[in-house]
Amino acid sequence: MPEDSVDTPCLVTCTAPVNIAVIKYWGKRDEDLILPINSSLSVTLHQDQLKTTTTVAISRTFQADRLWLNGKEEDINHPRLQSCLREIRRLARKRRNDGDTRPTDSAGLSQKVHICSVNNFPTAAGLASSAAGFACLVHTLAQAFGVEGELSGIARQGSGSACRSMCGGFVQWIMGKQEDGKDSVAQQVEPESHWPELRILVLVASAERKLIGSTSGMQTSVQTSSLLKHRAEAVVPRRMVDMIQAVRRRDFPAFAELTMKDSNQFHATCLDTYPPIFYLNSVSQQIMHLVHRYNKYYGETRVAYSFDAGPNAVIFTLQQFVPEFVQLVQHFFPPDRNRDDFIKGLPVKCAALPVELKQSIGLEPVPKGINYIISTKAGPGPRVVEDPSQHLLSAEGLPKKMV
């Protein structure tokens, strides 16, 4: 912390990405430490399209720790948030006690923090908002308190999948075996530059908050689904090996098939849960039909889908197939807005659809079934924002819109 921070807050701002699991995490063996029953693998999405931004302010003038999320003050005493804050402060104290002489105001460890965080995408709509949020929180707190080293285990204690958002590119969360969770961490498999042709399309079918959150859904699945137990023990270990191999070889057909099969099995475990959990809707099912019929028409796997705990589809494909597939989505899910509003993110060229392709797919159009598409690619892990004008908090430590 800067030496002149006696009266003015130390301000740090960072951004962190969303990640989409292609081998899913569902179910914990330890609820408090958030230790999973199986390993998982994800693709980190680019922050130019999807990110959380967090500013942390530390000052001796603050009366209490405070938190603002997406413009609204929230309870900072949430147990998971407190776990992250407590662990960062513990590591900062340890660093100081170990004799680290880097400029950190020792009193800062007991000073209060103000945290302000915003997402540029719908919160709690199956778009991994908690993963980006807690990854950003931990990275920003670590920067503010001068903490370095392995941080994914701390992010995991906020939200399991947040540990994967601490890395860019292709990331595995190793489930680990130790009871204390020290070996349950995220590791980068390959950087975002490894597969430059890979593209990701987020088809936002609903921006509404889901009826059953991931935490409660997982608990019920672990308690009641025999399929989940079989999946964790007999299916996922082999799939992890195969998926890492497919990524390293840039083998899209293998990557795509594993991605779709794992998404389907995840939702099958949700149906096998008692009472059953439904995260997909009729639009989700139509998207699945569209993908399979599109691949069948060309006699090769050009496109894959994946669904997390929500109805939004994440489509994986290669750059050369994006224009036609996006045009196909527009044809079978006619939007009520112009193309520029319907397609956000990376630019997508227009494409003509062969009549035979439309006839072969033969689905009934679903007007306004998809609100919009986010076009993106693999991207880096958390980053520090150097421009002080981008701080979300003012010099007084309050959200800028409130000052």
What pTM was estimated for this model as a whole?
0.93
| Integer CA distances (angstroms), 254 to 260, 261, 290, in order | 10, 11, 19
**DSSP labels, 262-316:** HHHHHHHHHHHSSS------HHHHHHHHHHHHHHHHHTS--EEEEE-SSS-EEEE
pLDDT reported for residue 242: 98
pLDDT-based confidence at residue 96 (cuts at 50, 70, 90): confident
Question: What are 214-238's pLDDT values in tens digits?
Answer: 889 999 999 999 999 999 999 999 9
Q: Which amino acid, residue 140?
A: T
The answer on pLDDT for 51 being more than 90 is: yes
Contact between residue 289 and residue 280 where contact means Cβ atoms under 8 Å apart: no
Q: How far apart are CA 97 and CA 91, in angstroms?
A: 10
Q: How far apart are CA 339 and CA 344, in angstroms?
A: 9
Place of tokens 């509404």: 208
CATH number for the segment(s) 10-192+380-390 = 3.30.230.10
pLDDT-based confidence at residue 110 (cuts at 50, 70, 90): confident
Left if phi > 0, otherwise alpha if psi is -120 to 50, otherwise beta: which for 169? left
Q: How far apart are CA 255 and CA 287, in angstroms?
A: 19
Of 121-125, 140-144, 258-262, 287-291, the poorest mean pLDDT is in 121-125
Percentage of the chain exceeding pLDDT 90? 87
Domain ranges of the chain: 10-192+380-390, 198-377
- As assigned by CATH, the class of the 198-377 domain is alpha beta
pLDDT reported for residue 205: 87
Q: What are 337's two structure tokens?
A: 């807005």
Q: What are 254's two structure tokens?
A: 């293998």
Q: How far, rounded to the nearest angstrom, does the alpha carbon of residue 210 sit from its chain's CA centroid?
A: 16
pLDDT-based confidence at residue 164 (cuts at 50, 70, 90): very high
| Span 157-176, average pLDDT | 98
pLDDT-based confidence at residue 5 (cuts at 50, 70, 90): very low
pLDDT-based confidence at residue 207 (cuts at 50, 70, 90): low
Beta bridge partners of 373: 203, 343
Q: Where are the beta strands (DSSP E) in 169-211?
A: 170-173, 186-190, 198-204
Element (H, E) at 215: helix 214-224
The answer on pLDDT for 124 being more than 70 is: no
Which of 206, 79, 203, 181 lies closest to 134 in space, CA to CA? 79
Q: Which amino acid, residue 311?
A: P
| Span 316-332, average pLDDT | 98
Q: What are 194's two structure tokens?
A: 């490894």
The answer on pLDDT for 256 being more than 60 is: yes
| Span 210-217, average pLDDT | 83
pLDDT-based confidence at residue 25 (cuts at 50, 70, 90): very high
Which of 321, 284, 330 lies closest to 302 in space, CA to CA? 321
Q: What are 56's two structure tokens?
A: 């942390």
